[in-house]
Amino acid sequence: MKILVVNGPNLGLLGKREPEIYGSETLAEIISRLRGYAADRAEIQDFQSDIEGEIVHAIGSAMNVFDGIIINPAAYTHTSVAVRDAIAGCGLPTVEVHLSNVHKRESFRHESLTAPVCVGQIMGFGSNGYQLALDALLAHLNNRKIGE
């Protein structure tokens, strides 16, 4: 299995940015730990950008290359119809992940434009959410293959 992990704006600042909300691990540390966790179950390729169009392009380019996507759209969760449409358009099962529980935060963070086109959403478990997202996505992919 090949999984693309997409991270949106400001996630390159992890480890420095508001550690009381987002934790002290850097994005590189989170991805490294995810690769180790995936071991022989999945190949992980990651992509991070603060630029909406680059994220849209990465998602669109994943078609026929990857089996699924894990995405932390960050602030684009609440604002980007383009990211939402890219997820819907690429046809790949996608799991949305957030480090914090957005429902415990400001009200403008409560609505996700991307969640309705994802197979599921995981939030509030810090960097462990990426591992939970991987488990959920692989289970979804394996169930889909069994039922096809």
Which residues are part of the catalytic machinery?
A: 22, 98
Distance CA(121)–CA(27), nearest Å, equals 19
Per DSSP (E only), the strands in the chain are 2-7, 43-48, 68-72, 94-98, 120-123
Distance CA(133)–CA(136), nearest Å, equals 5
Distance CA(65)–CA(42), nearest Å, equals 13
